[in-house]
Amino acid sequence: MPALQPARGTQDILPEAMRRHRAVIDTARAVAMRYGYEEIATPIFEFTEVFSRPIGEHTDIVSKEMYTFRDRGDEEVTLRPEYTAGIVRAVISNGLTQNLPLKFFASGPMFRYERPQKGRFRQFHQIDAELIGPATPEADVETIALGADILGALGVLTDCVLQLNTLGDTESRTAYRAALVDYFSAHRDKLSEDSLRRLERNPLRILDSKDAGDVAINAGAPHFDKYLTDAARDFFARVRGGLDALGIAYQLNPRLVRGLDYYCHTAFEFVTQSLGSQGTVLGGGRYDGLMKLMGGPDTAAIGWAAGVDRLALLIAEPPAAPRPVALIPMGAAGETKAMTLAHELRGAGFAVDLGYSGNMKRRMQRANKVRAAAAVFLGDDELARGAAALRNLDTGEQIEVPLDQLKDRLAPFR
């Protein structure tokens, strides 16, 4: 019988890779807390409507990519494909709209049925930040600054370019949408099948197409800038001015879009060339219409998400785990003492490795394998004197230490 393998598009995150994942999440959490963000966790699965209502029944995410199924109670549920909708649902469900503004940070696994490739999996992991309530450009600036500071703390900001665009207000988008429909309708015979489906429902998404024929057509598409209202133009100018004031460099990208109607004003992505075609490591935008669409009050919001798996590929090697102290019992008395001593030392903050069997040679081989900094030998003779032998495994120096002084003598190895 062949050995079982992980499902396609999933991965086992083994300890070395897990250190990278943990470094990304812990760093992001620490920076977010300095910005006043509080950590939140939402369920890994939700009623399907939580995602299908805001995303749209006919979008690629809903029709092709979501893991949707009926549970034993015949309820249709979906593994979360992204964080924002679930966090907005949590705000509504828990009556938190009375406590605006709200700042939330989250991290965890997401699920989409996509073609696996470098840095992209069907179960993948994200960090997420949402600022709910403020409708001012300053909120957009601070949200982007949070993302930049996290990437900076991870040491990858210099490898990224911030791309920036505006999606305008409702009046701007209505006019631009009509212009796009007119333009793309004149090129129907050359559009890809996906873009033809998007033409009536989601024409802005055509601008994001990677199909070679669509890219050529997009080159001549009208620019959003011509359809911005004065208010939308002023909003974007204030966002740009705020980024300039903070020294956050950016490039304008008029083709950076979000196809769903609840998105507005600022859209942004931090993009790297270090991961091949999948270059976006952090992206987001303003979504003032989402809360109302999901049954809550009309509430402004902006947020972003970043791929932990991708960032983990970019960061420098994190510090290794603390080197442990190895306990080497020799004889029955030593075995008994090693168990209680390990418990005491761990309670005092030491990393302790305790082998469970084997002679002294085998236990020392294990100590070397786990990169122990020191070894404590618990033999019958030493224990009879109320002592243990302590060896520095880097220098080879060995001394006898009274057991009641062992914690103090081990302090350099904590």
The reply to whether 122 and 250 lie within a common domain is: yes
> How many percent of the chain have pLDDT more than 70?
96
Residue 356 has pLDDT above 80, yes or no: no
Nearest to 388, CA basis, from 332, 380, 374: 380
Q: What span, in angstroms and rounded, lies between the C-alpha atoms of 71 and 75?
A: 6
pLDDT in tens, 257-269: 876 778 899 999 9
Residues 336-342, mean pLDDT to the nearest whole number: 93
The reply to whether 270 and 401 lie within a common domain is: no
> Whole-prediction pTM value?
0.89
What is the span of the domain harbouring residue 106? 15-169+229-314
pLDDT in tens, 360-375: 889 899 999 999 999 9
Phi, psi of 332, rounded to the nearest 5 degrees: -60, -45
> How many percent of the chain have pLDDT more than 90?
67
Nearest to 148, CA basis, from 306, 41, 300: 306
CA atoms within 13 A on the CB side of 16: 3
What domain count does the chain have?
A: 2
Q: What span, in angstroms and rounded, lies between the C-alpha atoms of 67 and 52?
A: 12
Residue 182 lies in a domain: no
Question: Which amino acid, residue 16?
Answer: E
CB proximity list for 249: less than 8 A, separation 6 or greater:
161, 162
User: What CATH number should be reported for the domain holding residue 350?
Assistant: 3.40.50.800
Q: Considering only 76-80, 159-163, 193-197, which range has the smallest mean pLDDT?
A: 193-197
Q: What span, in angstroms and rounded, lies between the C-alpha atoms of 256 and 263?
A: 12
Q: The sheet that has 398-402: what strands, in order across it?
A: 352-354, 325-330, 374-379, 387-392, 398-402
pLDDT at 197: 82
Phi, psi of 159, rounded to the nearest 5 degrees: -90, 0
Residue 345 lies in a domain: yes
Q: What span, in angstroms and rounded, lies between the C-alpha atoms of 322 and 325?
A: 10
Residue 388 has pLDDT above 80, yes or no: yes
Asked which of 261, 289, 314 is the last residue of a domain, the reply is 314
Residue 178 lies in a domain: no
Torsion, Cα of 242, 166, 298, 178 (10° steps): 160
Cα–Cα–Cα angle for 211, 173, 244, rounded to 5 degrees: 85
The reply to whether 164 and 256 lie within a common domain is: yes
Residue 52 has pLDDT above 50, yes or no: yes
The reply to whether 123 and 60 lie within a common domain is: yes
The reply to whether 272 and 388 lie within a common domain is: no
Contact predicate 208/192, CB 8 Å: no
Asked which of 277, 295, 314 is the last residue of a domain, the reply is 314
The reply to whether 290 and 335 lie within a common domain is: no
Contact predicate 326/353, CB 8 Å: yes
pLDDT at 93: 97
CB proximity list for 361: less than 8 A, separation 6 or greater:
none
pLDDT in tens, 88-140: 999 999 999 999 999 999 999 999 987 766 657 899 999 999 999 999 999 99
Contact predicate 300/292, CB 8 Å: no
In the structure, what pLDDT confidence band is assigned to residue 385 with cuts at 50, 70 and 90?
Answer: very high
pLDDT at 60: 56
Q: What span, in angstroms and rounded, lies between the C-alpha atoms of 299 and 132?
A: 7
